[in-house]
Chain A
C-alpha cells in the first residue's frame, strides 16, 4: 500500500522531472498501411504521437487499432506475410529503415499487452530487470536502480519491496499487469505502447492502471489502444479514431485533442461513435 498521508499534488510529486521542454512529436506516421498476405488491414494512416502525452487509438473491433499499434515497434516482423508500408519515424529515425536494428528499436519503444504476461519462471525482481538483462546490462547497481525506479513508477514498489524474490505468479492480476508495465519501463523506453492493458482486469485494478498512465507521461510518451471510450476520455490527451472502411481495412477518421474529439468532433461518424450510436 502506498502511504495514505501523501497528498497528491500537481506534478512536483513525481520523483523524476524528465519533462521534455520541447513540445513536439516523438513518433510520426505518414501514409502507413499494414497488409497481411496481401489483405490490407490498415490503410493510409497519418498522425503524430505527441511527446510526453497519452495518445489513444479508439474505434470498434476490426478498425485496425492493435494492428497499427504493433507496427510502431515492428512486432509484425514476426508475422509471416505482414507488410508495413509508408513512413513511421521515431524522432528522425526511420523505424523501417535499413539503419535500424529491430531489437534496439523495441528497447526504445516498449509494449504492454492485453493480458498480463510476466515470465512465469522468473521472480518479481527478475521480471522487472528482464529487459535490461536481455540487452546485456550486467551492473548490479544499474539493475537495482532501474528495478526500484520502474517498480515505484508502476505503483508496485511498496507492496513488493519485501518479496522481490517471490515468483511473479504470486501477484494478483492487476499487480501482474503493473509488473509488466514496470518491466517495460525499466529499460527506459521513449515510447510505451499499451494494447488494451486493462481489458482483462476488474474495475478497481483498471482504475489503478488508469491513474498510473496519467503519472507516467512525464517519463514516457504513451500510445494506448482501448475499446472503452470512457477510458480514452479519462486517460488520453489526443485521440485517434479509426473505422473499418468498405473493404474491411481500418482507416483514420479523425485525429484531435481528446476534449475536441469528444465534445466537438468534426466528422459526423466520430460524433455517432463517441455518443454511442454504434460500435
Chain B
C-alpha cells in the first residue's frame, strides 16, 4: 500500500477519476436539460412544416377527383373543371428544362470536379452567384430574350429556358460533389490500364457517381417544378390544351397563382387541389431520389 501512495501515476489516476466522477454527476442534469432543449427546438422547427402540410392536405384533398386530373378548366362558375392541361404543360416545360440542364449541368460538374485552375474557380463562383439570383430576374431575362424578341410571344420554350437556368446550378454543384466523391484510386486504376481521360469519365467516374447525380437531378427538377415567377413572364398560362413549345401553355404553379385569389369557390378549390398535387410531386421526387440513391449504393455493395 505504501508504494501506491507515492506512485505519481496512481495518485494522478485517483485524482482524475474523482474529478471525472464529480463532473459527470454535476453535468448529468445539465446534459438532460440540453438534450431536452434540442428536442424542443426540433419540435418547434417542425411545427410550421406540419401545419402547412396539414392545411394543404385538408384544403386540397377535397378538390381531388378523377375529373380534377383529367378535365380541362371550365369558365368561372361552371363546376367540374380540371387541371389536365396544366399537368401536361408542367411536364413539357420541366421536361425540356431538365433535359437541357442535365446535359450541360453534369458536363460542367464533371469539368469542375476534374479541374482546379483559375477557370474552374471562376466558374464555381459564377455557379454560386447563379444559384442565388432571384427567379424573377431570370424570368425577365428570359422574357427579354425569347418573348420580347426571339419567338415574339409567350411560349413553353421560353419557360423551359428560364426554369432550366434555375436548375443548372443545382445540378452542377450536386454533380461536382458526387464526382469528387469517387475515389481517385478508381480513375488511377483506369489510367494505369491505358485508358484515356474521356473513357475513364464515361466508363468509371460517371457510373460510380450515378447515385449522387440522380439525387442532384431530382432535387433540381423538384425545385424547378415549383418555380412560379419565371412562368408568369414566359408561359403565362392557358385555358386550353396545348403541347406546342412555341405557344403559351398552362402550368401547375400558374393555376395556383391565377385561381387562388379568385372570388369563385370552385376556382379556389382547384388552386388548393393543385397546391396539394405540387406538394405530392415534390415529396415523391425528394423521397424517391433518396430511395433510388440508397438502392443503387446497396446494389453495388453486395
A interface with B by C-beta (< 8 Å): 16-18, 21, 101, 103-104, 107-108, 132, 135-137, 142, 145-146, 149, 187-188, 190, 219
Contacts and interface: CB of A to CB of B under 8 A. Distances in A.
Given A16-B7, A17-B7, A18-B7, A104 B12 contact: no
B26 to A, nearest CB: 8
Contact of A219 (B9, B17, B26): B9
A109 B20 CA distance: 13
B16 A190 contact: no
Given A107-B17, A137-B16, A188-B16, A101 B24 contact: yes
B8 interface: yes
Interface string B1-37: 0010001111011011101111110110000000000
Contact of A136 (B7, B12, B13, B19): B19
A104 B20 contact: yes
Given A146-B16, A187-B16, A188-B13, A135 B8 contact: no
Most buried by B among A101, A136, A146, A219: A136
B3 A135 contact: no
B12 A149 contact: yes
17 contacts: A16-B7, A21-B3, A104-B17, A107-B17, A136-B24, A136-B26, A136-B27, A142-B16, A146-B12, A149-B8, A149-B9, A187-B20, A188-B9, A188-B16, A188-B17, A190-B13, A219-B9
B76 to A, nearest CB: 55
Contacts of A187: 16, 20
B20 A136 contact: yes
Nearest to B10: A18
Contact of B8 (A16, A21, A101, A103): A16
Contacts of B27: 136
A145 B16 CA distance: 12
A264 to B, nearest CB: 36
Nearest to B25: A101
B37 to A, nearest CB: 20
A142 B12 contact: yes
Contacts of B12: 142, 145-146, 149, 188
Nearest to A108: B17
Contacts of A137: 16, 19-20
A167 to B, nearest CB: 25
A264 B1 CA distance: 39
A21 B1 CA distance: 10
Contacts of A101: 24
Given A142-B15, A145-B12, A149-B12, A104 B7 contact: no
Contacts of A145: 8, 12
Given A101-B24, A104-B24, A135 B9 contact: no
A104 B18 CA distance: 10
Contacts of B23: 135-136
Given A142-B15, A190-B13, A219-B9, A17 B20 contact: no
B7 A107 contact: no
Given A136-B23, A137-B19, 6 more contacts: A18-B10, A108-B17, A132-B16, A135-B24, A188-B13, A190-B13
Contacts of B19: 135-137
Contacts of B7: 16-18
Nearest to B28: A101
Most buried by A among B19, B20, B27: B20
Nearest to B22: A136
A107 B17 CA distance: 8
Nearest to A142: B15
Given A101-B24, A103-B24, A104-B24, A135 B16 contact: yes
Contacts of B13: 188, 190
A133 B39 CA distance: 27
Contacts of A188: 9, 12-13, 16-17
Contacts of A135: 16, 19-20, 23-24
Contacts of A142: 12, 15-16
B109 to A, nearest CB: 29
A70 to B, nearest CB: 21
Nearest to B14: A188
Nearest to A16: B9
B3 A17 contact: yes
A20 to B, nearest CB: 9
A101 B23 CA distance: 12
Contacts of A108: 17
A219 B3 CA distance: 14
A107 B20 contact: yes
Nearest to A19: B3
